[in-house]
């Protein structure tokens, strides 16, 4: 028959409680650190990846339209100089 030692049971219970408290403290520390980093990033006016990609797509479209307009102006100038000759 196995006997139970009250002191060992109490120590085991104390250690279990300490682990629970440590995990709770870890969770709170992670939350606080994430909040701090989010606030720091917001203060630096960084853009999100989605915002960056949207502006990048708009710039690409504007470049393509600009090239198309350059080609159109060149064609009109060529047609105009052919008429003048």
Residue 1 is predicted with a pLDDT of 42
Extents of the domains making up the chain:
1-46, 47-85
pLDDT at 55: 97
Angle at 21 between CA 15 and CA 25, to 5 degrees: 140
Distance from C-alpha of 77 to C-alpha of 71, rounded to nearest angstrom: 10
Specify whether the backbone of 45 is left (phi greater than 0), alpha (psi in -120 to 50) or beta.
left
Half-sphere exposure of 61 (CA within 13 A, CB side): 6
What confidence score (pLDDT) does residue 3 get? 56
SS3 content of the chain, % helix, strand, coil (to 5): 85, 0, 15
CB proximity list for 47: less than 8 A, separation 6 or greater: 55
- For 76, how many CA atoms within 13 A lie in the half-sphere containing its CB? 6
Show pLDDT as tens, one digit a residue, over the chain (85 residues).
455 788 888 888 888 888 888 998 999 999 999 999 988 988 888 888 999 999 999 999 999 999 999 999 999 999 988 877 6
């Amino acid at each position: 028959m196995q006997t139970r030692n009250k002191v060992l049971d109490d120590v085991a219970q104390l250690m279990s409680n300490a682990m629970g408290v440590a995990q709770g403290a870890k969770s709170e520390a992670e939350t606080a650190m994430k909040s701090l980093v989010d606030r720091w990033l917001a203060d630096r006016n960084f853009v999100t990846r989605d915002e960056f990609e949207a502006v990048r797509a708009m710039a690409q479209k504007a470049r393509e339209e600009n090239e198309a307009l350059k080609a159109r102006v060149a064609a009109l100038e060529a047609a105009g100089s052919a008429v003048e000759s």
